[in-house]
Amino acid sequence: MSDEHKQPSTISDIAQLSGVSNRTVSRVINRSSKVGEATREKVQRVIDAQSYRPNARARGLAGGRSYLLGLIYDNPDALFIDEAQRGVLNVCRELGYELVIHPCGETDELCSEVVGSVKRSKLDGVIVLPPLSEDHNLFGALAQEKVPYVRLASVALDTSDRVVVSNERSAVAEMAEYLVGLGHRRIGYITGPAGRRSTRERLEGFSDALERLGCAVREEMIVQGAYSFESGIECARQLLAQPEPPTAIFASNDDMAAGVIQTATEMGLSVPRDLSVAGFDDSALATRIRPALTTIRRPVRAMARLAAGKLIAAIEDRTHDARLGVFLDPELIIRASTRAIDPAARMTEGGARVPS
Amino acid sequence: MSDEHKQPSTISDIAQLSGVSNRTVSRVINRSSKVGEATREKVQRVIDAQSYRPNARARGLAGGRSYLLGLIYDNPDALFIDEAQRGVLNVCRELGYELVIHPCGETDELCSEVVGSVKRSKLDGVIVLPPLSEDHNLFGALAQEKVPYVRLASVALDTSDRVVVSNERSAVAEMAEYLVGLGHRRIGYITGPAGRRSTRERLEGFSDALERLGCAVREEMIVQGAYSFESGIECARQLLAQPEPPTAIFASNDDMAAGVIQTATEMGLSVPRDLSVAGFDDSALATRIRPALTTIRRPVRAMARLAAGKLIAAIEDRTHDARLGVFLDPELIIRASTRAIDPAARMTEGGARVPS
DNA sequence: TTGTAAGCGTTATCAT
DNA sequence: ATGATAACGCTTACAA
């Protein structure tokens, strides 16, 4: 008899079925406050019964919006991207938005091109992933063009900054405490490429913590890497060739840490017996090399979810929800590549080991 | 004076400026054949001058299409996904489509849910990635619901199958030839999980080639893995514990190959001196473990590009472009984990080595 | 609180 | 080959 299972029901169908006007159904859909409670419930029931879903195209056309969010990134770390995508999608689905992805590393696109592309695609807003998210030019341009955006980053710039922050400073501080607690005093540090904000945050967080713990931070224990496996190898060589080599090395990402382990092993050092090694990222690599890597994991998916929520709040003009930055703490993950320092080894300055 | 740099020009603006009707501009945009050459050029010039871009929402609403393509996958391999996304996007941008991603591994969604979601989002078509793409139920349901789709897969089912195939059979055959050419005769094989199409394709391709080369394929040289690092470890133990252990092991993905190297090293075997190891995928891991992994790389991005092209052709009803399957050949990548068999070692059955 | 009617920018129908 | 005009499904002044 009834044909309530027809696929493409429209707002008018719902209006007729619930005995109200299109306008009222629209109000219910858009959570307008100006609807009587009784009416709202009645209409909502019909909507549910028909499993009606408003047509995003029509909504976009009429309302001047697209219900499309963009995810912008140049990050080469596929795992990070994947996590971020899934996090954003969770929220998108819930709130009726679609996610459009916008990788832009390879073509070396300029900010203006990114912004232009966003406007052409009529995206309602964008989420920017690191390290691109740390580029002032880009989010400056977005702000200027009034494109709503939220960044994922390692630090907030000011109170007006729309950003979800993973508190990397405190995370690396925790790592420093952990290593010192293990008895390490000569700790090598491999930085990321110069000029990146996260490079600075991680280094400062680490060395500040070291100082607080009463460990002098020696210049020669800090070498600059490039977040690549090869640079990890190179930096490890430098670090381990010193007269007083470190007993532990913290590489500021996992790729470099893998390079360190590789080099140490080649030099005849056993990890973690002779050298503790830790990384940052908890990448796929971390559990697939031996020893498995002690590292730091950012709550990427949770960050992405929060970012999406904030972004949509901003778009829908619930500015109070969107205003401030959000801060999340990364997690220290202890695996097999770090270990308490061997007192015997320590006395021999990292040279030939005396059996304990 | 002139305001030709206004952002939101519409089809009517273009029509006025070029002195034709909206309909004609629409025809030009949509490459309709029924437009005079002179008119077409005139209109096109105005379009270019204004850098006019049709509003996808309006187009979708009027034309019953969304200009949205979906990418569906459950693949946990983030690198594969990333490559596929970039490939599809290349084409999307060129042809005016947006890409919406649809990961669906974790929630264990049923086919019906995937199909439902696609219809709700009004996607014009979808591209399905392996291993989900090998699920008959899914693409059966898509076909039944008339959702245009293209799969990326390891084999084509029949001539009506819309699929872009990486010819894994021939790739693993090449690997077999390579290993045999290196002098290996006892070659271990670690499969993927049972029931997956790619598991079968790779195994059959490999063992068929071995037979062609006159190498008896021994049952005990084939063990079943699960595409995980841990399963690689387990399978390597089995393989290497045999009275006549293999001199080479081909694991049907890189994660497992990494596990094999790990196990071999722990057992005191040197790779590749005592054991050659090869994988499949050319994952991020392949160049970040030592020795670097000999492996097989599928042309994922190219496959994705072709798939997107085929899909759009199907959507736009250029059926002749969309009909047949496309076949691409993966590439054998030789790195440091494989080496010619040591004749001396071979005589000692993999036991203590005689210096050569 | 609720309804009426006019668009939003494009494509589709049917003339011419 | 080209042009007027009515959809497409929804939002939003403006009215009631």
Cβ contact (<8 Å) for A229 and B287?
yes
Note the Cα B250 to chain centre separation in Å.
Answer: 20
- Highest mean pLDDT among A13-27, A50-64, A173-187, B6-20 belongs to A173-187
For the cut 90, the answer to whether the pLDDT of residue B106 exceeds it is no
* CATH architecture, domain B168-298+333-346: 3-Layer(aba) Sandwich (3.40)
Which chain B residues are closer than 8 Å to A116 by Cβ? none
Q: What is the pLDDT of residue B107?
A: 55
CA of A25 to C1' of C3 (A): 11
Cβ contact (<8 Å) for B119 and A7?
yes
Q: State which amino acid sits at residue A148.
A: P
Residue-wise pLDDT for B248-268, tens only, equals: 999 999 999 999 999 999 999
Q: What is the pLDDT of residue A201?
A: 95
Same fold, A3-63 and A168-298+333-346: no
Which of A55, A59, A82, A233 should we substitute to test contact with B (largest number of B Cβ atoms within 10 Å)? A82
Confidence of residue A109 (pLDDT cuts 50, 70, 90): low
- Tokens representing A343 are 């007192």
Q: What is the pLDDT of residue B7?
A: 57
Tell me if the bond preceding A131 is cis, omega within 30° of 0: yes
Confidence of residue B37 (pLDDT cuts 50, 70, 90): confident
The chain A residue lying nearest B290, using CA atoms, is A262
> Where do the domains of chain A lie?
3-63, 68-167+300-330, 168-298+333-346
Q: What is the pLDDT of residue B355?
A: 43
Contact call for residues B149 and B162 (beta carbons, < 8 A): yes
Residues of A with CB under 8 A from a CB of B: 7, 53, 55-58, 60-61, 66, 68, 78-79, 81-82, 85-86, 89, 98-101, 103, 106, 119-122, 229, 255, 258, 262, 265-266, 283-285, 287-290
- pTM (2 d.p.): 0.89
What is the distance between the alpha carbons of residues A49 and B273, in angstroms, rounded to a whole number? 68
- The whole-angstrom distance between B146's CA and the closest CA on chain A is 14
Q: What is the pLDDT of residue A351?
A: 43
Q: Does domain A68-167+300-330 have CATH number 3.40.50.300?
A: no
Which chain A residues are closer than 8 Å to B78 by Cβ? 78-79, 81-82, 284
Residue-wise pLDDT for B269-285, tens only, equals: 999 999 999 999 999 99
For D4, nearest residue by CA–C1' is B21
CB neighbourhood size of A351 (10 A): 10
Contact call for residues A187 and A179 (beta carbons, < 8 A): yes
Cβ contacts of residue A302 below 8 Å, gap of 6+? A87, A328
Out of A53, A120, A262, closest to residue B120 by CB: A53
Which is it for strands A149-153 and A163-166: parallel, antiparallel or unpaired? Answer: parallel
CA atoms within 13 A on the CB side of A232: 25
For the cut 60, the answer to whether the pLDDT of residue B49 exceeds it is yes
Confidence of residue A355 (pLDDT cuts 50, 70, 90): very low
CB neighbourhood size of B249 (10 A): 34
* Closest among B221, B258, B217 to B239, alpha carbons compared: B221
Residue-wise pLDDT for A291-328, tens only, equals: 999 999 999 999 999 999 999 988 887 665 556 678 99
Measured between alpha carbons, how far apart are the two ends of chain A, in Å? 86
Q: How many residues does chain B have?
A: 356
Q: What is the pLDDT of residue B356?
A: 41
For the cut 50, the answer to whether the pLDDT of residue B5 exceeds it is no
Buried residues in A18-40 as b, exposed as e (16+ CB within 10 A): bebeeebbbbbbeeeeebeeebb
- Dihedral of the alpha carbons of A30, A31, A34, A39, in degrees to the nearest 10: 100
Confidence of residue A120 (pLDDT cuts 50, 70, 90): confident
Mean pLDDT of all residues in B145-157: 91
Give the phi and the psi of residue B161 in degrees, each rounded to 5: -75, 125
Hey, what CATH class is B3-63 in? mainly alpha
For the cut 90, the answer to whether the pLDDT of residue A354 exceeds it is no
What is the distance between the alpha carbons of residues B104 and B122, in angstroms, rounded to a whole number? 18
Mean pLDDT of all residues in B301-313: 95
Q: What is the pLDDT of residue A356?
A: 41
3-state DSSP helix/strand/coil % of chain B, to nearest 5: 45, 15, 40
